[in-house]
Amino acid sequence: MTFYSEMAVMADELLQEFGDVNEMLLIREVAIDNTSANPSAPIRTEYKVKGVLQLRYRYLDGVESSSLIAENKRGVMLSTFMQDGRALPISPKSGDKMAIQEDEQAVIWKVESGSPVAPGGTAIIHKLEITK
């Protein structure tokens, strides 16, 4: 195990110990060659992942502020490991979707942007920006 892969394990442990970890579903849909006469539906792949959501409310000058922007836009710190402990085989990208459990129902969010924190080329954690 390399130094950076050990850091990825430690980041996952810190998320679980100090974060409010949510189980999420990362959804990637890949379009097939649609140039033929019979276009097919995209292939949908789901990954059971875990991460920490940024708080909904922002505090401005000590006062809680809830705006439409704060309600419909969130940040996610996503582990590089899936719920079953295996490494996440993909890096989330713009256009992917996430199903997140909220108030006993799954809400679909769209990944607007994301980037891995990857010193030395090894992803330690993924920082995502998602919108409803």
pLDDT in tens, 10-31: 999 888 888 788 889 999 988 7
Rounded Cα distance, 72 and 26, in Å: 18
Which tokens sit at 107? Answer: 């809400």
For all residues of the chain together, what is the average pLDDT?
84
Rg value, the chain, Cα: 17
User: Containing domain of residue 57, as a range?
Assistant: 3-32+39-131
Q: Three-state SS for 120?
A: helix
Our count of domains for the chain comes to 1
What's the rounded mean pLDDT across residues 85-93? 93
